[in-house]
Amino acid sequence: MRPYTARVLVADGDERVRVAMFRALLERDVFCDCVAAGGDAIDRLATRPYALVILDFALPHAGAIAVIESLRTMSAESRPMVIALGDVDASADSDLVQMVFRRPLRVRDLADVVDSCVSQVCTA
């Protein structure tokens, strides 16, 4: 079992993606919280530590850029890794986005990458 800080936040406007990611990560013993809007992601980031955020750049309600701005206010030690989904907006801080997955999304491939990233965080 991984430590609590290995939790992942999935912020995606598509319910099918959220459900598929939840299931694929759970199969790998990676626990995640899923939200459908940027405001909800910002609220979660303010109340719980995450090792990694999967961030849909087409996220509604406050949007991905607002989530990136909230991450920018965190200390470097507490800031989670970010994997962006879709077309990354030019105004996004490239230092905060470690990886980009384009759509159509292969959930299993993304889950394998997330599992690997979380394993690295747990052993660091």
SS3 content of the chain, % helix, strand, coil (to 5): 45, 15, 40
Predicted TM-score (pTM) of this structure: 0.88
CA 42 – CA 3 distance, rounded (Å)? 22
pLDDT at 103: 80
| Region 4-123: CATH code | 3.40.50.2300
97-100 contacts at long range (C-beta below 8 A, 24 or more positions apart): 97/55, 97/68
Which residues fall within 8 angstroms of residue 25, CB to CB, at 6 or more apart?
8, 10, 31, 32, 111, 114, 115
Give residues with Cβ within 8 angstroms of 44, minimum separation 6. 9, 33, 35, 50
pLDDT (tens place) for every residue of the chain, 124 residues total: 555 457 999 999 999 999 999 999 999 989 999 999 999 999 999 999 999 999 998 888 788 889 999 999 999 888 999 998 887 665 555 678 888 888 888 899 999 999 998 887 765 5
Q: Which two tokens stand for residue 94?
A: 């490239």
C-alpha span between 57 and 100 (Å, rounded): 10
What is the pLDDT, as a whole number, of residue 96? 84
